[in-house]
């Protein structure tokens, strides 16, 4: 049954709204708080979203050194498996968390998406396209009540549809009713047009249909996001070629439309609209450019358009490291909305055993 669409709300003061969501994260967890484990956890974007929605994080799995250290800095009490997911056994997860198969509420994960991305080469043989099988392996072992898997929109475009179909078969064969839907983060409190494929699976024995949240809010603009932004870090200076890129891209334009050359991988947001997708890579001539000042955006500006509260610590490594952490993560407010929906529409409807 489709949900009744409500009028979109309006976020009048974005920094204040972001602060209120941060305060949700700081609240003590209830004894009956739903539980979540995150695979491919990155620096903790999705984990922060779950925490804002009242979930209790039991474990994170991540291999990137900088991402792990950043995660630990922000979630010091959450155990982290720091290593290759191929070597992370289901038995170890169960022993570490004290869970039994079937007890976990949500298994979350964002398998690396570069092989699917329309901003990349989109090669069918890219090994990263197969990392979802590690997600499926752990899913089959843990048998959580619900799983949520996030990936780029490019997996349902062109030749990548074959891999998408393979993923759907594997997930359903694991004992789940599965629904996949494209959602754009800008309708869920994130000042960034970031379209992602969201898979939701509900274990078949629970006899509840999977569903997705509907759009909640009118998109916030870059101007709203950067209100009172305290830029404590310097923007990466633009080399001569970078200045040429800045001059050549109009406000509100993304260089990915060029597909190659100087402009590829660059973007210049319009102040009166949501930002375009902030990507992981910041090449010597690309990245997110400031729309007025001839420079790249600062880390603080990047955090704001990705819905990271100012208090979230992205202080480790180089500018490129910090930029990659933001661009490679799930915007916290996006996952907050998804997690709240799953809690209210699925988990809360499961009969107590």
pLDDT at residue 116 is higher than 60? no
Number of folded domains in the chain?
2
* CATH code at position 175: 3.40.50.150
Could you tell me if 312 and 323 lie in one domain?
A: yes
- Taking Cα atoms as reference points, which of 46, 334, 28, 6 lies closest to residue 182? 334
Q: What are phi and psi of 146, to 5 degrees?
A: -140, 150
Q: Can you give the pLDDT at residue 157?
A: 61
Could you tell me if 209 and 308 lie in one domain?
A: no
pLDDT at residue 84 is higher than 70? yes
CA dist 299 and 230 (Å) reads 10
Could you tell me if 71 and 209 lie in one domain?
A: yes
Could you tell me if 190 and 75 lie in one domain?
A: yes
Could you tell me if 237 and 310 lie in one domain?
A: yes
Owning domain of residue 130: 14-219+330-349
Could you tell me if 273 and 311 lie in one domain?
A: yes
Could you tell me if 259 and 317 lie in one domain?
A: yes
CA dist 336 and 44 (Å) reads 12
- Taking Cα atoms as reference points, which of 283, 289, 220, 285 lies closest to residue 252? 289
Asked if the structure places residue 6 within a domain, the reply is no
Give rounded-to-5 percent helix, strand, coil for the chain: 40, 15, 45
CA dist 202 and 183 (Å) reads 19
Asked if the structure places residue 5 within a domain, the reply is no
pLDDT tens-place string over residues 288-321: 899 998 888 999 999 999 999 999 999 999 988 9
Q: What stretches of 53-158 show up as alpha helix (H) in DSSP?
A: 65-74, 90-97, 132-142
Asked if the structure places residue 9 within a domain, the reply is no
Cα 181 versus chain centre, distance:
15
DSSP 253-287: EEGGGG-SSTTTTEEE--TTSPBPPPPS---TT-E
Active-site residue set: 113
Q: Which of 43-52, 104-113, 227-236 has the lowest mean pLDDT?
A: 227-236
Using an 8 Å Cβ cutoff, are 150 and 106 in contact?
Answer: no
pLDDT tens-place string over residues 148-170: 999 877 666 667 678 888 899 99
* CATH code at position 267: 3.90.120.10
């Amino acid at each position: 049954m489709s949900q009744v669409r409500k009028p979109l709300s309006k976020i009048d003061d974005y920094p204040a709204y972001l602060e209120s969501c941060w305060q949700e994260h700081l609240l003590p967890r209830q004894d009956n708080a739903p539980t979540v484990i995150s695979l491919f956890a990155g620096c903790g974007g999705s984990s922060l979203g779950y925490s804002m929605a009242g979930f209790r994080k039991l474990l994170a799995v991540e291999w990137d050194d900088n991402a792990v250290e950043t995660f630990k800095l922000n979630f010091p009490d959450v155990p982290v498996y720091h290593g290759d997911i191929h070597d992370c056994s289901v038995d170890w997860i169960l022993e570490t968390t004290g869970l039994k198969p079937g007890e976990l509420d949500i298994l979350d994960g964002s398998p690396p998406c570069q092989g699917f991305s329309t901003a990349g080469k989109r090669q069918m043989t890219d090994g990263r396209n197969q990392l979802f099988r590690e997600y499926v392996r752990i899913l089959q072992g843990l048998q959580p009540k619900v799983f949520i898997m996030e990936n780029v929109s490019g997996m349902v475009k062109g030749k990548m549809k074959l891999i998408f179909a393979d993923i759907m078969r594997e997930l359903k064969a694991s004992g789940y009713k599965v629904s996949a839907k494209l959602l754009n983060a800008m309708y869920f409190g994130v000042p960034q047009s970031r379209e992602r494929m969201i898979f939701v699976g509900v274990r078949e024995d629970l006899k509840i249909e999977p569903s997705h949240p509907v759009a909640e809010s009118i998109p916030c603009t870059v101007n709203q996001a950067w209100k009172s932004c305290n830029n404590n870090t310097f923007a990466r200076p633009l080399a001569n070629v970078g200045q040429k890129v800045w001059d050549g891209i109009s406000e509100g334009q993304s260089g990915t439309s060029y597909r190659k050359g100087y402009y590829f991988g660059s973007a210049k947001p319009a102040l009166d609209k949501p930002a375009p997708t902030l990507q992981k890579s910041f090449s010597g001539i690309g990245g997110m450019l400031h729309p007025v000042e001839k420079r790249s955006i600062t880390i603080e500006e990047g955090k704001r358009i990705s819905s990271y509260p100012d208090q979230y610590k992205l202080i480790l490594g180089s500018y490129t490291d910090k930029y990659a952490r933001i661009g490679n993560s799930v915007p916290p407010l996006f996952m907050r909305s998804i997690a709240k929906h799953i809690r209210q529409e699925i988990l809360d409807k499961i009969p107590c055993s």
